[in-house]
Amino acid sequence: MMMTNFLMPNRNTNKVAIATGIAALAGVAVICAIPKARKACGEWISNTFENLKSMTAKKNGGSWQEDLEKSEKLKGPVGRRKNTAKIQVPSAGTNAWKDEWTSE
């Protein structure tokens, strides 16, 4: 008896989950069906996301412009920075690798 209770899912839990899903779908259907409710819900969601964005921006310490200025200061003076686009390896510009592959 104990094994059958463990293996068989509880039917009451399934009924509660099904009822919750139906209620959620009915709520979404009502919001989508009524234009005023749809507009109010959309405004509420957008306001909520805007508040979350502003809270995270304050939490992180400011705007991206300030972060960019701080990062430029950390890099040091522009004149003393290395050119990372330029390859500093002496053999990078040669075709020696072609000679090795063509000789085989």
The predicted pLDDT at position 86 comes to 74
Tell me: the pLDDT tens digits for 45-103?
Answer: 899 999 888 887 776 666 778 888 888 888 888 888 777 777 666 665 666 666 655 55
In terms of residues, how long is the chain? 104
pLDDT at 8: 55
What are the pLDDT digits (tens) for 8-34?
555 567 788 888 899 999 988 888 888
Kindly give the residue spans of alpha helices, DSSP state H, lying in the chain.
Answer: 2-7, 11-33, 35-60, 64-75, 96-102
CA 37 distance to own-chain centroid: 29
Look up the pTM and report it.
0.35
Burial grade of 28 (CB within 10 A; 0-12, 13-18, 19 or more)? exposed
Record the tokens describing residue 25, joined without a space: 């779908």
Amino acid 66: pLDDT: 81
Predicted local confidence at residue 60, as pLDDT: 65
What is the structure's pLDDT at 12? 66
Q: Identify whether the C-beta of residue 30 lies closer than 8 Å to the C-beta of residue 37.
A: yes
What is residue 101's predicted lDDT score, i.e. its pLDDT?
59
Structure token pair of residue 16: 């509660």
